[in-house]
Amino acid sequence: MDDDALLAAVAAGDDQSLRELFERHAPWVAGRLRRLLAPSAVEDVMQETFVAIWRGARTYQGGGPVGAWIWGIARRQAALWARRHGRADLERSLETMLERPAADDPAAAAANRADLAQALDGLGPEADAQRELVRLVYVEDRPLADVARLLGVPEGTVKSRLFTVRGRLRAALGGGY
């Protein structure tokens, strides 16, 4: 099911579709918010974001990618969080900071890739499906469409599996990355 169909199902009250949407989009939205907010603040904002999606799915008009719509909600929720917590400075800079690309650092990216390659051992034997997924996506940096083709599953399934492997990856990398 693509994102539009999932969101339509959410609008019709299907909580399993909300879960699917969460698995596909929560990791990157959290990653993006994490650039400016502490983990606990990101968790608060994420919760408000997906509750807002559940309540407001009917207002989605289409005409743009679902990811962009979700990101718009997350940005607003982050601004609300900053206001509630008296962080006027953060509230002012939040929108522009969150939109901006991060400073590109090739050396850091290479080091991160090396950490990931090492972390693969913590994900089980070479034949392990989760380990293979992490290797293809994060170490070999392959596009998701290629990975989906290689594994013989839809791209949406690859996204869901990446969500599932997240916990193990987090443990293998020592809790934070």
Partner 1 sequence: MGGMHGHSDGAAHVATCADCQARAGLRGLDVDLNRVWIGVAGEVWAREVGWVERTAGRLLRSPGLARALLTTPSLLLSWLLASVAVLAIGVLATHTSGEPWVALLAPGLAGAAIAYAYGPGIDPAFELSRSMVVSDRVVLLARGLAVFALNALLGLAASLVAGQAVGLTWGWLVPMTMVSALGLAGATLARSANTGVAVALAGWAMIVLAGRAETRDLAAAVTPGDLLPLYFVGTALCLVAALYATNGRRSEVTLWR
Residue 159: Cβ within 10 Å count: 19
Do 125 and 171 form a contact (C-beta atoms < 8 A)? no
Smaller CB separation from partner 1, 35 or 92: 35
Smaller CB separation from partner 1, 15 or 121: 15
Near partner 1 by CB under 8 A, which window of 38-46, 76-84, 85-93? 38-46
Task: Provide the token pair at 60.
Answer: 């989605």
- Is residue 80 involved in binding partner 1 (CB under 8 A)? no
- Is residue 32 involved in binding partner 1 (CB under 8 A)? yes
Q: Which of 8, 27, 76, 87 binds partner 1 (CB under 8 A)?
A: 27
Task: Provide the token pair at 80.
Answer: 């609300």
Q: Give residues with Cβ within 8 angstroms of 4, minimum separation 6.
A: 62, 66
Integer Cα distance of 87 and 41 in angstroms: 12
- Is residue 1 involved in binding partner 1 (CB under 8 A)? no
Rounded to 5°, the CA angle 50-21-74 comes to 35
Q: Which class for 176: exposed (0-12), middle (13-18), buried (19 or more C-beta within 10 A)? A: exposed
Near partner 1 by CB under 8 A, which window of 33-41, 77-85, 86-94? 33-41
What residues line the site for partner 1 (CB under 8 A)? Answer: 15-16, 18-19, 22, 25-28, 30-35, 39, 42-43, 46-47, 50-51, 54, 65, 67-68, 70-71, 75, 98-102, 104-106, 108-109, 112-113, 116, 129-130, 137-138, 141, 143-145, 155, 159, 161-164, 166-170, 173, 175-177
